[in-house]
Structure 1
Amino acid sequence: MSTPNTYHGSCHCGTIQYQIRLTFPPTPDPNAESIRIYKCNCSPCRKMGFFHVRPISPAADFIVTAPATIAELGDYRVNDKKIGWYFCKTCGVRPFAVAGAWEQVDLDVAEWAGKEGDGKTQKVWRTKPADVQATVEGKQVTKNMHYVSVNAVTLEPREGEGDNGVDLREWHDKGWIFYVESRTGSGGSKVRFGEPHHGGMY
């Protein structure tokens, strides 16, 4: 497997700052250990224009470096209120969605990002699994849930040669984006490459 690269992301005004480690290219095999790049046609994703990119390990590959507390973020809950679609209360941009629990840790961010660390740590937020109540075949069950998806349009763009930002055109041109059918409720999400499902977006 390739070595992951670290990418920076933020809301428009910079109040929210995060970093994510992504290993390219993704693989279309749903059972493979891979990042996921997709667009979903469910009502929240469609109306928010959310462009999903998910790391291989939610706990290890995603950190929030600002603001100082998660309580400073707006948190809109859907999907039986299990997933928080976090947004900036100043500029309104929605950088990521999380299902699970938050924990604050001291981290050498440079070392985490694959650079030479200097031993200095800072407080960052990362996620971990959490138990949630769910209804399965009419019964209440406890499920362990952990989900992190960043909105790809909030990643810093590549500005020039050697820049470590992202070029979203590349993801399209290489056929890395898949589309999820979540509107029909037909017992599980259907995925495909090439074109969106009904009501979805390119």
Structure 2
Amino acid sequence: MAKTAPKRQACPGSCHCGLTKYIVFLTLPHPFSSSNPPKWAEQEIYRCNCTVCHKMGFLHVNPAHPRDDFMLLSPLDPDRDLNIYRCCDKKQKYYFCPRCGVRCFTLGGESETVVIDFKDLVDGKEKKREVWRAKWDGEKDTEPYVSVNGTTIDAREDLDLRVLTEEKRVQYFDGRSEPEKEKEPRWDRPHDGGSY
């Protein structure tokens, strides 16, 4: 059976109770591995062994283009309607549902609510919809950081988390060590204190 060529797809996701709903656009099946690592502005799937990522069990799925590839459908004001845990010198916000406690995504940077034409993006049924997303910081011109918790993406065959691990398509970062002693990312196993 021939393998399917990777293509960009709309992947819906949510928290357990459904208060938080989003769409992330990913290239699936995930094409990157140790022999074909992602370059800048390509999606990444990784685990970090820093204490916050480890304790949350966060499987980072970073879309290639944070502003255009992640759209929060509900709630439209997550700073008001979701709970937030700030870390990384309070520059990153880990949003989590106040009802079920599931952490769906992280944002570093600014955000905005905009109207998007969904007709060509998703299924052709819905035309325009208001969404919340990351935005470019005009003054600093800094790219936002968006990371989706891969375990909150709705189940699908072309994003099988077990297969990603078995095929060594998940990168492991050393975020626990001091920056000057940080080990290089690897694909075969987590760094000390990390998990698969």
Could you tell me the TM-score, scaled by structure 1's length?
0.83
Mapped partners of 2:178, 2:141: distance in 1: 20
Structure 2 residue identity aligned to 1:15: L
Return 65-74 or 90-99, whichever deviates more. Answer: 65-74
Relative distance call for 1:69 and 1:189 in structure 2 (3 A) is: farther
RMSD, aligned CA? 2.3
Given that 1:26 and 1:34 are in contact with CA atoms closer than 8 Å, whether structure 2 keeps it comes out as no
Report how far residue 153 of structure 1 moved: 0.5
Match of 1:136 in 2: none
SS in 1 for 2:73: strand
Match of 2:14 in 1: 10
Is residue 131 of structure 2 the alignment partner of residue 124 of structure 1? yes
SS in 1 for 2:120: helix
* TM alignment of 1:27-106, pairs within 5 A: 28-70=36-78, 71-106=80-115
Report how many residues are paired: 186
Per-residue CA deviations over 1:4-50 (Å, capped at 9, x if unaligned) read: 01111100000000000001313543535421011000011011110
Is residue 182 of structure 2 the alignment partner of residue 184 of structure 1? no
Is residue 143 of structure 2 the alignment partner of residue 150 of structure 1? no
Given that 2:96 and 2:104 are in contact with CA atoms closer than 8 Å, whether structure 1 keeps it comes out as yes
Given that 1:76 and 1:84 are in contact with CA atoms closer than 8 Å, whether structure 2 keeps it comes out as yes
Mapped partners of 2:141, 2:74: distance in 1: 29
Per-residue CA deviations over 1:80-114 (Å, capped at 9, x if unaligned) read: 0000000001100000001111111111234222x
Mapped partners of 2:183, 2:67: distance in 1: 24
Stretches (4+) displaced over 4 A: none
Relative distance call for 1:110 and 1:170 in structure 2 (3 A) is: farther
Given that 1:6 and 1:22 are in contact with CA atoms closer than 8 Å, whether structure 2 keeps it comes out as yes
Identity rate of aligned residues, in percent? 37
Instruction: Give unmatched runs, 5+ long, in structure 2.
Output: none
Structure 1 residue identity aligned to 2:93: G
Structure 2 residue identity aligned to 1:25: P
